[in-house]
A and B are shown apart, each in its own frame.
Chain A
Amino acid sequence: MSKRTLKTILLGGFIIAGFGLIFILSDVLEARRAPDPYADEDLYLSSQRIKAFSGDFSGLAADWYWINSLQYIGGKIVKAKDEGAFSLKDMRPLNPRQLYPMLDRTTTLDPGYMAAYTFGAIILPAIDEDLAIKLTEKGIAENPHEWVLYQHLGYIYWQRGDHEKAAQVYDQGSKIEGAPAFMKQMSAKVRLEGGTRETAREIYQHIFDSAEDTRTKELIAMRLAQIVSLDERDRIREVLQEIQKKTGSCPQSWPAIFTSLRAIKMSDGKGLALSREGIPLDPSGAPYRLINSEEKCDVDLDLVTTKIPPG
C-alpha cells in the first residue's frame, strides 16, 4: 500500500469516526440540556421596527411569523389533546399568550395576509375576544374591500353573544362590492334567530367555504362536527327516552336498540353511522357512550376515543 493511499484511508477514517462521535455527542448534549424556561418568551421587537428592519424581505418575515404562530398554537393544542384538556370554546388554560403578538406581527409585516386574519378570527375568540376584534378590525382598516373580514368580525360578535352587533357587521360587509348574497341573509338570520344551532351551522359552513388555509378549515370542520354530533345525540336521546317510557328501563347496551337506532333519520335525510356491532358512531368515527345508571339514561361522547372536543 502506497503512502498516499494510507494517508487517504487514515484521513477518511478520521472523518467517519469524527462524524460518529459528533452523532453520539449530539444525543448526549440533547439529553443533558436543561429544559427551556422561555418557551413562551416575549417578542421583544415591535412590529413596526421589524417591518422597518426587514425592508424588501417583509413578506418573508411575515411568512416566518405565520409559520411560527401555527407551530406555537398547534403544539399547545396537540399537548392539550394528549392530556384530554382541550376545548374549542376556551383555550385560555393553554396560556397561548404569544399567539396574538405573532399574528399581529404577521399582519403588520404584510397587511394583506388574509390567512392570518382568518386564523386569528377563528382561534382568538377562545383566548381573548377583544384581541380577536382588534386584529380583525385592523384587517378591515388595512383591507376595506375584503368582505370576508366582515364575516369574521360578525362571527366574533356572534360568538360573544352580541347578536345585534354581529348582524350590523354582516350588514356592513354585505354592502361591499363582490360580497356574496349570504352576508345579507346572515345579517337577518343572526338578528332574528341569534344563537341557534342552525345559525351556528350556517356561520361555520360559510367560514369553512371561504377559508383558504388548512388549519382554519380543520378547526371549523371540528366545530361543524360538534354541531352534527349535538344533533345526533338529540335524536339518540329521543329514542332512549321513548324506550324508557315503553319498557320502564334504560337499555343495557346499544345493540339492544339496534333497530331503533337504524331507523333514526337526520335532517339531511341520512341515517346514523353505526358500527357492525350496532354501536352509534360520532362524526369522528368514535363510538358514542351509553350512560345507563340508575339516575340517568343518556348518550355522550366517548372522550377517550373521540376526536371531537367537548363543549
Chain B
Amino acid sequence: MKSSSLKRVLSVARNTFREAVRDRVLYNLVLFVLLITAAAVFLGDLTAGYEARVIVNMGLSAALVFGAFIAIFVGVSLVSKEIEKRTVYAILSKPLGRGEFIIGKYLGLSLTLLVNVVVMGAGISLALLYVKGGQFIPSIWYALVLTFFELTILTATATLFSSFSSPALSALLTFFIFVIGHFSASLREFALALGSQSAKLFFESLYYVLPNLSNFAFITPAAHGQFPSAGFTAAAAGYALIYVTILLSGSILIFSRRNFK
C-alpha cells in the first residue's frame, strides 16, 4: 500500500474512532465497571472465597459479550449509515478508493474495540487486586488478546454483511455467525457421526468456511491462571488475520460494485 493510500486509510480510521466516541459507544464501560465493582464487593460470601475466579470468568465473559455487541451493532452501521445519510457521496467524491474506505472504517472500529478491551482488562485487574490483596493475575491479559482477535473477525463479518444488506438483517446474520462460530466444532463432530457421504462433506465444508470462534476461547483456563502457548497464540493471530483478510476482501469486492445512483 502506498504511503498516501495508508494516510487516507488512517484518516478514515481516525474519524471512525472519533465518531464511535462521539456516539457514546464507550459508555458501555460504565456498565462494565459497575458490574465488576459489584462483583468484587458482593461475591466474597456467595462464592466461599472463590470471588477472584468468578471475577475473572464474569469480567472476561462480559468483555466478550459487550465487545461482540459493539462489533455487531456498530459494525453493521459502518457503511450503511454513510449511505443512509448520503455522506458516502461526499466521501467517495474525494480521492479515496472504496477499498480504502472499507479498510479505514474497519480499522477505526477495531481501534474502538481495542480501547474497550484494554479498559475492561484494567477494570478486571483492579478488581482482582482488590479481592486478592494486591495479587496480579496476568493470564487474563492473554485471554483478552484472544478475545480481541475474535472481535476483529466479528467486526469484519459485520462489515461484510453491511456492505450489501440492511442494518437489521446484517446484525441478525452477524449474531448468527457469532453463535454458530462458537459451536462450529460441533459441526465437525456432527459431520463425523453422519452416515451419508454428501452430508458429511457439507458439514465438513461448513466447519472450514465458518469462523471457528472457539479457537479464541480462553476464559475458563485464564480463571485457573493458565496461559496459552506462544505457538497457539501465534496460530490464533494468524487465523484471525487470514479470516479478516478474506472477509474484508469480500466486503471491498461487493462495495466496489455497488451502484449508489
Contact = CB atoms under 8 A, between A and B. Distances in A.
Interface residues of A, number: 22
A202 to B, nearest CB: 24
B186 A52 contact: yes
B49 A214 contact: yes
B105 to A, nearest CB: 27
Given A58-B220, A70-B47, A70-B48, A63 B54 contact: yes
Nearest to B43: A67
Contacts of A300: none
Interface stretch (B57-65, B69-77, B197-205, B239-247): B57-65
Contact of A67 (B47, B49, B183): B47
A302 interface: no
Interface string A58-74: 11101100110011000
A57 interface: yes
B160 interface: no
Contact of B50 (A52, A57, A213): A213
Interface string A104-131: 0000001010010001000000000000
B48 A215 contact: yes
Contact of A60 (B58, B182, B214): B58
B219 A216 contact: no
Given A60-B57, A63-B57, A115 B219 contact: no
Interface residues of B, number: 22
Nearest to B189: A52
B217 interface: yes
B183 A56 contact: no
A238 interface: no
Contacts of B64: 56
B224 A112 contact: yes
A55 interface: yes
A70 B44 CA distance: 12
B98 interface: no
B220 A66 contact: no
Which of B50, B57, B186, B217 is the most central at the interface, judged by chain A CB atoms within 10 Å of its CB?
Answer: B50
B46 A56 contact: no
Contacts of B183: 52, 55
A92 to B, nearest CB: 23
B151 interface: no
A212 interface: yes
A66 B47 contact: yes
Contacts of B14: none
A56 B48 contact: no
B113 interface: no
B151 to A, nearest CB: 12
Interface of B: 46-50, 53-54, 56-58, 61, 64, 182-183, 186, 213-214, 217, 219-220, 223-224
15 contacts: A55-B214, A56-B217, A58-B220, A59-B57, A59-B220, A62-B57, A62-B220, A63-B58, A67-B54, A112-B224, A115-B48, A212-B50, A213-B47, A214-B49, A215-B48
Given A57-B57, A67-B54, 17 more contacts: A52-B186, A56-B214, A56-B219, A59-B56, A59-B220, A60-B58, A60-B219, A62-B220, A63-B47, A63-B57, A66-B47, A71-B46, A110-B223, A212-B50, A213-B47, A213-B50, A214-B48
